[in-house]
Amino acid sequence: MATMRDSYDVIIVGGGAAGLMAAIEAGNRGRRVLVIELADRVGKKILISGGGRCNFTNLLAVPEVYVSGNPRFAISALTRYTSADVVALVERHNIAYHEKKLGQLFCDDRAQQIVDLLLRECADASVEIETSCAVEDVARIDGVFRLATTFGGVASESLIVATGGLSIPQMGATGFAYDLARRFGLRITKTRPGLVPFTFNGATLELCNSLSGVSVDTTVTCNGVSWRENILFTHRGLSGPAILQASSYWHDGDDVTIDLLPELDDVNAYLVDQRSRRPTIDLAVAVGDLIPRRLALALCGADGARPLGALSNKALADLAFDLKKGVLRPATTEGYRVAEVTVGGVDTSDLSSQTMEARNTPGLYFIGEAVDVTGPLGGYNFQWAWSSGHSAGQVA
């Protein structure tokens, strides 16, 4: 542990992607910066992201794809520090990377490279970092923020809160940002787990459990937003990229529509044609040509063992509907325990979109996942962390 000064220009609570980016920007402006991190090291979520390779941004990270009570709030930050800026930073540190799919950029090697990049940039900007340090109290007296920590008292002109949301509590996630925001009179929009698997009850749960491990390409739609990616059946319900994406738009009681054959527009016509061409083959065999056989057997039910020639037009039409427009109602999600993000957070109406500063408290900033801005799966939330951190660090 280094010896902390009594006072700084900027104190940042939270040593994740957003907090470290803000620290770098503020430090590069000549500000005396302290980062306080509760965990024993910074960047823990960075290290586990992208299967350990860190999906550090997305080339398609435009404001329109983010979920927020104010969809326009993210425009300023995301357009002033873009994925191209992140790529330039990564390239400057000679980190090899690749596009996996859909604009998702990953390190060729390890996520540790991104943490090392941030630590080098912090060192070059003379940023001080204290880990295993808890903030016990925050007060603002005569325009100065005074923090009581486990390492002693510190003060600063500006305070940036970058402690994230409630997702993955085993990684140290807490409601610190929300509690502090409320203390200073900011509002918190309703929060819920995002990018999280669905769970089911009854017959649907039995179906999912019986198909655990089966993955299939789909289009999943929830509240008018659709995602074309795989779903994965689990012993508790449904997971996979398309489900995780849809979960950020889902509220209790909502239905989810799953198209199991997104490349085939008219499934009924296909089945009728197959009945004409191959009347003696079993229905499950015909459907198994399109989707995994275990799934085909489960969806065809008792008709699965019947030859196509013995099935009525109505039976084929009903199955076609289920395959293209199957509607499910999740019981709930697997919660913050496994959620990749928290949807909701500090109300953007109470923050400046240019600087992330609280409108009612000069010098107080909220950035990253703590704010009511949530991106899709695939590097979008890292980009919001970089962009919002950059915005605050430019002025704090």
Tell me, yes or no, whether 177 and 225 share the same domain. Answer: no
Parallel/antiparallel/unpaired status of strands 152-161 and 215-222:
unpaired
Domain count, the chain: 2
Side chain identity at 102, as an amino acid letter?
L
Parallel/antiparallel/unpaired status of strands 225-233 and 192-194:
unpaired
Q: Which of 118, 30, 26 has its CA nearest to residue 382?
A: 118
Tell me, yes or no, whether 357 and 278 share the same domain. Answer: no
Domain contains 174: yes
Tell me, yes or no, whether 371 and 354 share the same domain. Answer: yes
Contact by Cβ (8 Å): 374, 342: yes
Tell me, yes or no, whether 225 and 327 share the same domain. Answer: yes
Task: Render each residue's pLDDT in the chain as its tens digit; 396 residues.
Answer: 456 778 999 999 999 999 999 999 999 999 999 999 999 999 999 999 999 999 999 999 999 999 999 999 999 999 999 999 999 999 999 999 999 999 999 999 999 999 999 999 999 999 999 999 999 999 999 999 999 999 999 999 999 999 999 999 888 899 999 999 999 999 999 999 999 999 999 999 999 999 999 999 999 999 999 999 999 999 999 999 999 999 999 999 999 999 999 999 999 999 999 999 999 999 999 999 999 999 999 999 999 999 999 999 999 999 999 999 999 999 999 999 999 999 999 999 999 999 999 999 999 999 999 999 999 999 999 999 999 999 999 999
Tell me, yes or no, whether 275 and 141 share the same domain. Answer: no
Tell me, yes or no, whether 174 and 224 share the same domain. Answer: no
Domain contains 159: yes
Range of the domain at 221: 197-334
Domain contains 374: yes
